[in-house]
């Protein structure tokens, strides 16, 4: 294998996988997504590795660098922020490599929506509150299919992690309210989750717009919406004494 798509994780350089770290430290060529990947990860590169920032490159240029390296028998790491399968634009790269008969492997990463949960110290799936996490974005220059508009997703009142949308916060909140969430539903915005400069803003669908504006929120931020952020909830069945499962029988004395 000569090309590896590697998830860099959300920012903290220690949140790359062990496998990703090993591949990065042995790569001859590294192409990283410069706008979001923490440059500290590049210090893992071996001396002499060629390093490209894809922020200023087109798809064709990225593929050309990969092809040339492969032809020279070199190993390439394509480093994407978070997990590459989420808004990573890797499909078009993989398809181009397929066309050229170049083999590749994908190494997953810790997505920013997970680092966000960690920062908030909340669980996205609470019994009887929400058992579903919707990963989505507001329509911007990239269109969103009609059935996935925020307003229709909001009708589920599930936990939502909204990427790429904090600069349109007021419209996001309006669509969610129009779609069915109550205006007092809790919202959190985590900016640069897992980076030293991480910031958390909390409010409700009604109040978060002003709170984020006053706090000067910038683009690298995740919006989380849902009752899981702040609620009473039923305890998990998994650890309930009367609930037996494959690895632990139910305790008779706790059955009522
Ligand atoms: N593949 C990435 C997402 C890339 S899209 C992943 O799995 O996380 C870029 C968007 O991700 C940003 O607009 C922001 O919404 C979110 N994002 C990326 N890094 C983040 C971080 N450290 N904290 C909060 N949001 C982040």
Q: What is the pLDDT of residues 80-113, one digit of tens each?
A: 999 999 999 999 999 999 999 999 999 999 999 9
Enumerate the domain spans of the chain.
3-107, 112-229
Q: How far is the CA of 250 from the centre of ligand 1 (A)?
A: 41
Q: Is the pLDDT of residue 255 over 60?
A: no
User: Could you tell me the CA-to-CA distances from 19 to 8, 45, 108, 110 in Å, in that order?
Assistant: 11, 14, 9, 13
CA dist 254 to 30, 127, 156, 246, Å? 57, 20, 34, 18
Cβ atoms of 109 and 211 closer than 8 Å: no
Other CB atoms within a 10 A radius of the CB of residue 4 amount to 20
pLDDT digits (tens, 9 = 90+) for 154-201: 999 999 999 999 999 999 999 999 999 999 999 999 999 999 999 999
Question: 112-229, which class in CATH?
Answer: alpha beta
Whole-angstrom Cα distance, residue 109 to residue 128? 29
64: which 2 tokens? Answer: 């050309």
3-class DSSP state for residue 204? strand
Q: Provide the CATH number for the domain formed by 3-107 in this structure.
A: 3.40.1010.10
111 Cα nearest atom in ligand 1: 7
**Residues near ligand 1 (Cβ within 6 A):** 10-11, 36, 80-83, 86-88, 111-112, 115-116, 163-164, 190, 192-195, 219-222
Fold agreement between 3-107 and 112-229: no
Ligand 1 atom having least distance to the Cα of 195: 22
Rounded Cα gap, residues 160 and 60, in angstroms = 34
């Amino acid at each position: 294998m000569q090309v590896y798509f590697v998830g860099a994780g959300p920012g903290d350089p220690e949140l790359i996988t062990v496998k990703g770290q090993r591949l990065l430290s042995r790569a001859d060529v590294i192409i990283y997504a410069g706008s979001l990947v923490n440059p500290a990860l590049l210090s893992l590169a071996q001396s002499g590795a060629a390093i490209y920032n894809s922020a200023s490159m087109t798809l064709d240029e990225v593929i050309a660098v990969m092809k040339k390296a492969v032809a020279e028998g070199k190993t390439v790491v394509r480093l994407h922020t978070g997990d590459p399968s989420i808004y990573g634009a890797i499909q078009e790269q993989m398809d181009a490599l397929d066309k050229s008969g170049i083999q590749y492997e994908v190494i997953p990463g810790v997505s920013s929506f997970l680092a966000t949960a960690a920062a908030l110290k909340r669980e996205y799936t609470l019994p009887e509150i929400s058992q579903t996490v919707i990963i989505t974005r507001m329509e911007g220059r990239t269109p969103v299919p009609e059935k996935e508009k925020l307003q229709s997703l909001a009708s589920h009142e599930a936990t939502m992690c909204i990427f790429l949308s904090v600069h349109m916060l007021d419209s996001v909140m309006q669509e969610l309210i129009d779609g069915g969430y109550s205006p007092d539903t809790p919202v959190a915005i985590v900016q640069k989750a897992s980076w030293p400069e991480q910031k958390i803003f909390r409010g409700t669908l009604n109040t978060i717009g002003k709170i984020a504006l006053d706090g000067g929120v910038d683009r690298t931020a995740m919006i989380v919406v849902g009752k899981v952020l702040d609620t009473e909830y039923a305890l998990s069945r998994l650890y309930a004494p009367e609930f037996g499962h494959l690895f632990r029988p139910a305790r008779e004395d706790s059955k009522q």
